[in-house]
Amino acid sequence: MSQPTIKTNPGRYFEDFHPGLILNHATPRTLTDGDAALTLALYGARHALFSSAPFAAACGLAPAPLDPLLVFHTVFGKTVPDISLNAVANLGYAEGRFLASVSAGDTITSTSEVLGVKETSNGKTGVVYVRTTGVNQHGAPVLSYVRWVLVRKRDAAAPAPADSAPKTAPFVPASDLVLPTGLDFSGYDFGLAGAPHAFEDYVVGEKIDHVDGMVVEEAEAQMATRLYQNTAKVHFNQFERAKDPSGRRLVYGGVVISTARGLSFNGLENAGLILGINAGRHVNPYFAGATLFAWSQVLDAQPIPGRSDVGALRLRLVATKDRPCHDFPDKDDAGAYPAEVVLDLDYWAAVPRRGA
Amino acid sequence: MSQPTIKTNPGRYFEDFHPGLILNHATPRTLTDGDAALTLALYGARHALFSSAPFAAACGLAPAPLDPLLVFHTVFGKTVPDISLNAVANLGYAEGRFLASVSAGDTITSTSEVLGVKETSNGKTGVVYVRTTGVNQHGAPVLSYVRWVLVRKRDAAAPAPADSAPKTAPFVPASDLVLPTGLDFSGYDFGLAGAPHAFEDYVVGEKIDHVDGMVVEEAEAQMATRLYQNTAKVHFNQFERAKDPSGRRLVYGGVVISTARGLSFNGLENAGLILGINAGRHVNPYFAGATLFAWSQVLDAQPIPGRSDVGALRLRLVATKDRPCHDFPDKDDAGAYPAEVVLDLDYWAAVPRRGA
Amino acid sequence: MSQPTIKTNPGRYFEDFHPGLILNHATPRTLTDGDAALTLALYGARHALFSSAPFAAACGLAPAPLDPLLVFHTVFGKTVPDISLNAVANLGYAEGRFLASVSAGDTITSTSEVLGVKETSNGKTGVVYVRTTGVNQHGAPVLSYVRWVLVRKRDAAAPAPADSAPKTAPFVPASDLVLPTGLDFSGYDFGLAGAPHAFEDYVVGEKIDHVDGMVVEEAEAQMATRLYQNTAKVHFNQFERAKDPSGRRLVYGGVVISTARGLSFNGLENAGLILGINAGRHVNPYFAGATLFAWSQVLDAQPIPGRSDVGALRLRLVATKDRPCHDFPDKDDAGAYPAEVVLDLDYWAAVPRRGA
């Protein structure tokens, strides 16, 4: 037989990325009611906007929107084969904005542009910065965010490229946030939503212990990660992971984010609609079986120009494993986190105002 | 910063309940095909009415109804934050009636009225009786039942309220059962449904060993319980449960009910349509990993006035863990159950008659 | 009370099968978006045809088809109570053809005809050959395949029936394959689908190591198997299985097939549309927790008469447990498989041609 071509995807190495490179990611994905039900089953989310079509319609959103984090995980999952198959670590997120609602029946594709690269001092790896955009079936962007990952070099002897690392904003300015078309919280039913706390009730600096704890099982972590078509080996290949010092499959960080968000319902019942992601770090690995806890801090509270029905809260969500959060476990002055802290996420959410 | 208000839900204590109190529970829930698929995946139910839209339509039910127990779990789940967050135990059910079919796309909300309270003799807890009603998006009731729970007092020194415990009916009279609108079993296809046994074939007193056994895994129990947005801590917080003598998360009793119902298909293939719940007790705790078995007894068989196509069977469903049911494990004369019995449920189901 | 009839299904024994017997299997099943989402969550499949409705529509398939293996598992599951409840082993498949697309909302029923029987030499068991046909709600066949199973005799002393074992084809001729109505790969978007490899790029004899590995957890195996309403005891009853030398529940072979197919995306991205199943053997048992790997070999490549947009690849899919496939683990000259090989499947898939 003639020599066949290589059929499997070896993934890109650091040398394969250069500023301006456009990556059109594979596997468009139609999200459905099935994905919404699995999202509930996996995270126990209770935000009324994503649980009840009539509630969403009463807020001006018909058809009902899907949980923005489902959109985030879907958009993110598509980038893995092109960006992070040979990644050592996911280092950070910035400048994330949700730009349009996504509803059951909508189809998502993802594209990334390499913003810059910077070799690390050891010469074996480099940081790749990309802006990823999720687009719906009409070509309209639904999500945009910057992410940077540490990627292996194919050849350590290859010369370092010029440092083209971009400067990212420390957080999304409130004035850049985009409300879903049609959103109207003027008749928001706080009772049905589960708590009376309005935008005005949250105080900058306030910390909230979300009290509840929840385990993620291996099966749950795998089902969620597959649902997003995120095929990173560390989440599934136990045979290979047995050689890692942990000996364990690593749970996809997005599962930790969504579980912590589910827990944060207890105290942030009306902050379901995420508008932006300012920053995020997976501080320590999370392995299935540990109990996740979470606490939040209100970092900022901004009105939205021309709107009396809704404001934007900037929230910090910290998740821990096997450690309740009544004492708000946090990094120390040197920026070092306790071993139990697994997530530090900074985001904006739309919260109804109490009204006139 | 000014002192923020408490944001998390501490739950109600015994002193917070009084007869006549109305609780409008949070988080309306639109049920979908996704929930139906998860119900099949979690319990392996095979009743044709809930598996096949054309079969349901041929029985006069279009759109196809969802499994009544999915409706029960959904209605129940919403009551947890308001009623049973500080509960010690769920003591019983009575007077449960399904009042209208629920189909994919329908949205359920729950309301409860406190019927009465009764302090227990130790002065530390009390029993709270509530009637809970599930309502669809048109305001029509779909389910109503009475439940009583043992709830902690906030302050053991608080004086006991007057005993206002209601008398509940020992079972729902057959004449009070409500058939779904349009139901017509006159052309019921026993072959497609999986068994030839009609209403006339069941004999009062008859016992049926359902033979099959099935394990519930932790991931399955958690996914089901989250799907119902039931957030009771005992089902999820392993860190806290490690301090319990069992050291285990407790599986939500509704998961045991639905698994036992799934097993009972083998012998009760045509009794899928539950009309009423007469009584129910979770006799012993069930922890994930044990194999569930089940047996049933026919307690009564009642014609339905004016109907030749359908009758009502009153059935007792007993479930065990790690003990097959060929010898019908049961309570003794003093009412004490073997340690392997986990459920004793008394319900009504609609069963097709053989026809004229 | 009068003596009630036996209500539970004892299953058929070898003596109960004879050539020409028609079995109309129970429980019609309406497949939905919920089943499609669970299929993604359970197997991580990424074939664009089953992931994106617009992609499918651009290939002439609207509404979007469901994964053919979901159809296979659904049709198969219905046969279990009538055919394999007392089976010792599932021996093989042949002559499998997918005859029409199945989309969300379609309802599947199954029928089997006994083709022949042959008692085994020990006189305690016999092989039963059946042709099973899945039909949609319009009565149109969607899948047909032959399967043979080893079934226990009720009475070892019963005389052996005449040998009526049919001859099955070693593989489906390419000329018998049926393309879904409307299929048009002339504008196939290889970029969106995830790889540039067209029909012309695959060489007969070529072997592909799919590289990736994936664990199936007990909860995942059970949820999948229940979704197909396959109630074979070996998959669920741990109490009984504890007496087996393995001490373990056996994972349904279809779960292994679909997981291996999911893995095979890495190298066979454009071969998602299965047209036929030529042969299949579950070579060794698979128990949850082991990591599955897979490799494929191109057995044949056939044009489809009159079509320049699509060809048919005959593929062999071999799956292993806890053994990577870079060295293509295979049977030896005597036909004996290494203990790590769990599946050897021979099938046809439609693959887009590069175009004129």
Residue C333's Cβ-count burial label (10 Å; 0-12, 13-18, 19+) is: exposed
- CA dist B143 and C117 (Å) reads 52
Look up residue B65 and give its DSSP letter: B
- CA dist A208 and A202 (Å) reads 10
> Does the structure show a pLDDT above 60 at A217?
yes
Give me the half-sphere count of Cα atoms (radius 13 Å) on the Cβ side of residue C274.
28
Are C266 and C212 in contact by the 8 Å Cβ rule? The answer is yes
CA atoms C256, C235, B259, B246: torsion sign: negative
A15 token code pair: 């040398």
B199 token code pair: 């209403």
- CA dist A74 and A98 (Å) reads 13
Question: Taking CB atoms and an 8 Å cutoff, what residues of chain C touch A4?
Answer: 201-203, 206
Q: Which element (helix H / strand E) includes C71? A: helix C68-79
Mutation for testing the C interface, residue in A223, A249, A255 having most C CBs under 10 Å: A223
Across-strand partners of A112? A23, A132
φ and ψ at C32, to 5 degrees?
-140, 180
- Three-state SS at A85: coil
pLDDT number for residue B132:
98
Using one digit for the tens of pLDDT, what is the confidence trace for B308-352?
999 999 999 999 999 999 999 999 999 999 999 999 999 999 999
- Three-state SS at B72: helix
In this structure, the number of other CB atoms found within 10 A of the CB of residue B170 comes to 10
pLDDT number for residue A291:
98
Residue carrying the six token digits 């040998």: C163
DSSP codes joined into one string, A175-200: GG--PPTT---TT--HHHHT----GG
Where are any strands of DSSP class E within C15-124?
Answer: 22-24, 29-30, 87-98, 107-119
- CA dist C262 and B184 (Å) reads 43
Residue among C4, C34, C219 whose CB faces B219 most closely: C219
Secondary structure of chain A: what % helix, strand, coil (to 5)?
20, 30, 50
Q: What is the nearest CA distance from C71 to chain B, expressed in angstroms? A: 15
- CA dist C199 and C271 (Å) reads 9
For A107, residues 6+ apart whose C-beta sits below 8 A from its C-beta are A28, A29, A30, A31, A136, A137, C52, C53, C54, C55
Closest chain A CA to residue C51: A29
Using one digit for the tens of pLDDT, what is the confidence trace for A17-51?
999 999 999 999 999 999 999 999 999 989 999 99
Is residue A212 less than 8 Å (CB to CB) from chain B? yes
The 10 Å CB-count burial string (b at 16+, else e) for C220-258 is bbbbbbbbbbbbbbbbbbbbebeeeeeebbbbbbbbbbb
- CA dist B325 and C6 (Å) reads 15
Is residue B20 less than 8 Å (CB to CB) from chain A? no
Across-strand partners of A345? A280, A317
Residue carrying the six token digits 């992410």: A147
C19 token code pair: 């050539």
Identify which of A94, A320, A73, A103 has the alpha carbon closest to the alpha carbon of residue A221.
Answer: A73
Helix residue ranges, H only, chain C: 33-43, 48-51, 53-58, 68-79, 190-193, 218-227, 238-241, 253-263
Question: Taking CB atoms and an 8 Å cutoff, what residues of chain C touch B268?
Answer: 7
Q: Do A1 and C206 touch (CB under 8 A)?
A: yes
Using one digit for the tens of pLDDT, what is the confidence trace for A139-183?
999 999 999 999 999 999 999 999 999 999 999 999 999 999 999
Integer Rg of chain C from CA? 20
Residue C61 corresponds to which amino acid?
L
Question: Taking CB atoms and an 8 Å cutoff, what residues of chain B touch C5?
Answer: 197, 201
φ and ψ at C351, to 5 degrees?
-130, 135
Tell me whether strands A341-352 and A273-281 are parallel, antiparallel or unpaired.
Answer: antiparallel
Mutation for testing the A interface, residue in C189, C202, C215 having most A CBs under 10 Å: C215
> Does the structure show a pLDDT above 50 at B356?
no
- CA dist A12 and A16 (Å) reads 6
Using one digit for the tens of pLDDT, what is the confidence trace for A83-138?
988 888 888 999 999 999 999 999 999 999 999 999 999 999 999 999 999 999 99
- CA dist C161 and C159 (Å) reads 6
C-alpha distances in Å from residue A142, one per residue of A46, A136, A181, A275? 23, 7, 12, 11
Tell me whether strands C87-98 and C107-119 are parallel, antiparallel or unpaired.
Answer: unpaired
Using one digit for the tens of pLDDT, what is the confidence trace for B184-214?
999 999 999 999 999 999 999 999 999 999 9
C73 token code pair: 């598992």
Residue among A35, A220, A236 whose CB faces C213 most closely: A236
Using one digit for the tens of pLDDT, what is the confidence trace for C61-110?
999 999 999 999 999 999 999 998 888 888 899 999 999 999 999 999 99
Q: What is the nearest CA distance from B277 to chain C, expressed in angstroms? A: 23
> Does the structure show a pLDDT above 50 at A64?
yes
> pTM for this one?
0.97
C346 token code pair: 């021979």
Closest chain A CA to residue C215: A236
Integer Rg of chain A from CA? 20
pLDDT number for residue B2:
63
**CA B125, B130, B134 angle in degrees (round to 5)?**
140
Q: What is the nearest CA distance from C191 to chain B, expressed in angstroms? A: 30
Identify which of A271, A279, A276 has the alpha carbon closest to the alpha carbon of residue A318.
Answer: A279
Closest chain A CA to residue C211: A8
Are A247 and A318 in contact by the 8 Å Cβ rule? The answer is no
Neighbors of chain C with 3 or more C-beta pairs under 8 Å: A, B
pLDDT number for residue C2:
63
- Three-state SS at C2: coil
Are C28 and B59 in contact by the 8 Å Cβ rule? The answer is no
A271 token code pair: 């902050």
- What mean pLDDT is predicted for residues A291-300? 98
Q: Which of left, alpha, beta for A111 (phi over 0: left; psi -120 to 50: alpha)?
A: beta
pLDDT number for residue C356:
45
Q: Do C33 and A34 touch (CB under 8 A)?
A: yes
Identify which of A343, A293, A281, A283 has the alpha carbon closest to the alpha carbon of residue A318.
Answer: A343
pLDDT number for residue A2:
63
Give me the half-sphere count of Cα atoms (radius 13 Å) on the Cβ side of residue A241.
21
Higher pLDDT, C279 or B355: C279
Q: What is the nearest CA distance from C315 to chain B, expressed in angstroms? A: 30
- CA dist B264 and B272 (Å) reads 9
- What mean pLDDT is predicted for residues C218-245? 96
Are C176 and C314 in contact by the 8 Å Cβ rule? The answer is no
- CA dist B186 and B147 (Å) reads 35
Q: What is the nearest CA distance from A224 to chain B, expressed in angstroms? A: 11
- What mean pLDDT is predicted for residues C190-204? 97
Omega within 30 of 0 (cis) for the link into C352? no
Mean pLDDT over each residue of chain C, to the nearest integer: 96
- Three-state SS at B173: coil
- What mean pLDDT is predicted for residues B109-118? 98
- What mean pLDDT is predicted for residues B134-157? 96
Identify which of B254, B262, B311 has the alpha carbon closest to the alpha carbon of residue B280.
Answer: B254
End-to-end CA distance of chain C: 78
C-alpha distances in Å from residue C92, one per residue of B116, C113, C140? 63, 16, 25
A39 token code pair: 């999202």
C-alpha distances in Å from residue C48, one per residue of A27, B48, C35? 5, 32, 16
Mean pLDDT over each residue of chain B, to the nearest integer: 96
Give me the half-sphere count of Cα atoms (radius 13 Å) on the Cβ side of residue C347.
32
Omega within 30 of 0 (cis) for the link into B63? yes
- Three-state SS at A19: coil
Residue among B37, B105, B219 whose CB faces A220 most closely: B219
Look up residue B182 and give its DSSP letter: T
Are B227 and A41 in contact by the 8 Å Cβ rule? The answer is yes
- CA dist A67 and A261 (Å) reads 11
